[in-house]
Amino acid sequence: MDYYPLFMKLTGRPCLVVGGGNVAMRKVTLLRKAGAQVTVVAPELCPELVALRDAGEIEYRQRPFQDDDIDGRVLVIAATSDEAVNRHVSELATARFVPVNVVDRPELCTFITPSMIDRSPLQVAISTGGASPVLARLMRSRIESFIPATYGRLAALVEGFRDRVKARLPDTELRRRFWERQLEGPVTELVLSGREDAAREILEQAVHDGLDRRDDGGEVFLVGAGPGDPDLLTFRALRLMQLADVVVHDNLVSPAILELVRRDAEMIYAGKRRNQHTLPQEDINRLLVKLAKEGKRVLRLKGGDPFIFGRGGEEIDTLMQEGIPFQVVPGITAAAGCASFAGIPLTHRDYAQSLVFATGHLKDGTIDLNWNMLAQPAQTVVFYMGLLGLPIICRELKAHGRPGSTPAALVEQGTTQNQRVLVGTLDTLPELVAQQDVQPPTLIIVGEVVALHERLKWFQPESEHTAHSLFSSHGHAAPAEQAQAQARESA
């Protein structure tokens, strides 16, 4: 370890920055953020430093550096363009045992400035020991994406209880166990989901109880897994997937997403294929309650978004009746994800001024929908779970006024490397799909925007079946497109 990591308290303490350019400005900004009293020595200042000087937020000495500028400083930064001045500042500060940093010259530094993640009072510092500041910044951006801004509020909440917990539990080991229990339990999740008052109440009770009572209450995480691509998961979804003790998942959740769940979590498959429910919905509702009452953190993982044809409303209704704590994490719904990856904009000023989501089958298994509304012109209609009912959907839309030439598409396993887009019309799409071995999950898009697919398609999955997606308005490949497709198939 070339450097000893530490955090220095600079609130109200005198620090010196030598230099007045943009680099010096960045250093002054960080020092002021830490509460330091900053003096800048330089012949000239950049406009940003001039503004700070005029506002009385820094002390400015308009001249070259002098040796006695270091007197009384607790920290010095050299950020000039003059190598000789920077080296002299470093030698002088080092001889007087004052921590010094020379920007971009680690060999002249007694301390280096790390790349920082600021979730005050929580802070994370990343350093490569000066070997590669760019790598440190890249690592920061990756780590930062997994640390929500609300962690700062969590740290502040905990800080407010530290003295009381110390008085209640004088023994260091007991305090450690207490805080581990609280921060691995519902307190953290309540704060991160914006329910600080509830988290504070739990901490109040926990401080009162000390280690006399273990919190056995479970919780349910209702999480949208999105349309299939793991990269489309939200940060909160990923975090909860790593916390869960047991996972109840549907058929529409892709294997790649299930791979991201905590390794030792119990996995329960709930099925949910059409007419093939491994667990009926009522049983799933009761299962979630049962597992939570056993004190488990339950991840209810659903394809797409839980509240868009995902029956999430039915599940949380049961949880609320039973008094089970829960939180809902939205996911990218299949319509948005699959259409985007298929190059089909769901709205477009020239083609569609409204958008309707519809289910391909109702609770009783029928497709008795409001066809008059769905058949309106200048709108896009997206049907979820419509694979088996596709012939009926196309027939009824035509019967209620949509022309048979209306473009229509079926997106199979959208956003994944197995994505396939079959494009036709209301007249031709059912026959086209019947000729292919189409597997769910699928999505049906009806409307003039589908005609944009050929021009706007951008996603090229590795296993793309391009030949089956190149169809004219009559459901047949155009000659040039057909030749290209045949060439690809024979390759």
Catalytic residues: 250, 272
- The whole-angstrom separation of Cα 139 and Cα 361 is 47
For residue 75 the two structure tokens come to 């920290």
DSSP conformation letters of 175-224: HHHHHHHHHTTHHHHHHHTT-HHHHHHHHHHHHHHTTSS-----EEEEEE
Give the DSSP letter of residue 458.
-
What residues form DSSP beta bridges with 14?
37
CB 178 within 8 A of CB 165: yes
Q: What would you report as the CA-atom Rg of the chain, rounded to the nearest whole angstrom?
A: 31
Give, as one character, the DSSP assignment of residue 3: S
Beta carbons of 221 and 326 less than 8 angstroms apart: yes
Tokens describing residue 208: 């009162």
Tokens of 62: 């308009």
- Taken as a whole, the chain contains a residue count of 491
Place of tokens 């839309």: 397
Question: Of 87, 96, 123, 119, whose CA–CA distance to 5 is shortest?
Answer: 123
Phi, psi of 31 (to 5 degrees): -65, -40
The candidate with the shortest Cα–Cα distance to 267, out of 282, 255, 280, is 255
Strand order in the sheet with 326-329: 266-269, 246-249, 297-302, 219-224, 326-329
Measured in whole angstroms, the distance separating CA 313 from the mean position of its chain's CA atoms is 23
CA–CA distance, 144 with 130 (Å, rounded to integer): 20
- Structure token pair of residue 211: 């280690």
Q: Which residues are annotated as a binding site?
A: 22-23, 43-44, 227, 303-305, 308, 333-334, 385, 414
- In angstroms, the CA 369 to CA 389 distance is 12
- List residues bridging with 412 in a β-sheet: 420, 442
In the chain the first and final C-alpha atoms are separated, in Å, by: 55
Q: Which residues are annotated as a binding site for NAD(+)?
A: 22-23, 43-44
Whether the ω angle into residue 377 lies within 30 degrees of 0, i.e. cis, is no
Beta-bridge partners for 75: 15
What distance in Å separates the CA atoms of residue 297 and residue 221, rounded to the nearest whole number? 7
Residue 373 half-sphere exposure toward CB, CA atoms < 13 A: 9
Which residue bears the tokens 């400035």? 113
